[in-house]
Amino acid sequence: MKRILITLATLLLLTSFSAEAQTIKGSVCYEKDKAPVAFANVALLHLPDSSVLTGVITLTDGGYRLENVKPGSYFVRASFVGYRSAGKAVDVIGEVKEIALDTIYLREVTALLSEITVVGERLKGKEMVDRTVYSIPEVVSKSATNGYDLLKRIPQVNVDFQNNITLNGSSNFIIQVDGRQRDREYLARLLPSDIQSIEIISNPGGRYEGNIDGVLNIILKKEARYGVNGNFLEALKPFNKVTSVTQGSIDYSIGKITFYLTGSYIAQSLNISPEVENRFTAIDSTTYTYGDGKIKVSLGSVNA
């Protein structure tokens, strides 16, 4: 009788030990290239209520171990920043001490990554023999307002709040559009959607006139190179004097020839009080005469 009791006690102890010492192991990999995901979160959820019982972090080889799992139905869920969560269902029974779960693959969240990429990221250039070429993706051109705004995405270019431009830290460079030299104000009139790429020549050598440190060449899309383009600006600036500023420009391109006309007109009204002084030394008196008047000053210029 004593032997029977000892045998029963031993069996109960072994059963209890096996029931409390179950282990689930597996690995987490990227779906795209099947590479292991290090430091991913792996959680053990109890079914059917999906309550989280425990969790671990994957190792550098993507592996994980969930230990001391009691018999029951579970769901092993893996998650990582920028990727959709995924997992596997598993039933733990008392007879099996260790369960090897199939690999969990994580799929990239495309919408989230594209949103992060667009905001504030500078473009990556393609290194050529004598220049670096930056192609302008459509998503970048849509987020820019003008040529100045687009240049802020180029690593070698710096544009300050007053639209002053430096190339590789120097302001001694020339700006070209399709190989033809332009002034910096021309950049404000460029539509980002018309720009195909931007070329940076850091060592121009003797190919250009003058001692310059670089060349910034903007390449337009084919459909934007021909036809008529222009803009018009009317502004009223009420400082201490009323000033009206009118500016306009127009371009006409045909073949390799571009006709360019720009002009400005400034009208300013001044309120003045002229003063006339009459001095009579004989009677030791001075008389002042005051008057009110307005003077309109107009300035204009045209460049072609």
Q: How confident is the model at residue 297 (pLDDT cuts 50, 70, 90)?
A: very low
227 class by beta-carbon count within 10 Å (0-12 exposed, 13-18 middle, 19+ buried): exposed
pLDDT at 271 (0 to 100): 53
Higher local confidence (pLDDT), 297 or 34:
34
Residue 37 pLDDT > 80, yes or no? yes
Reported as type and span, the H/E element at residue 296 is strand 293-303
In three-state form (DSSP H/G/I as H, E/B as E, the rest C), the secondary structure along 39-83 is: CCEEEEEECCCCEEEEEEECCCCCEEEEEEECCEEEEEEEEECCE
Residue 238 pLDDT > 60, yes or no? no
Residue 87 pLDDT > 90, yes or no? yes
Query: Model's pTM, two decimal places?
Result: 0.41
Residues 140-154 pLDDT 10s: 888 888 888 888 888
pLDDT at 43 (0 to 100): 92
Of 242, 247, 238, 244, residue with least CA distance to 266: 244
Q: How confident is the model at residue 5 (pLDDT cuts 50, 70, 90)?
A: very low
Within 8 A by CB and 6+ apart from 215, the residues are 173, 174, 176, 199, 200, 201, 204, 208
For the chain, how are helix, strand and coil distributed in percent, rounded to 5? 15, 50, 35
**Mean pLDDT for the chain overall:** 73
Residues 160-218 pLDDT 10s: 878 889 988 888 999 998 888 888 878 877 888 889 999 999 888 777 777 888 999 99
Higher local confidence (pLDDT), 117 or 110:
110
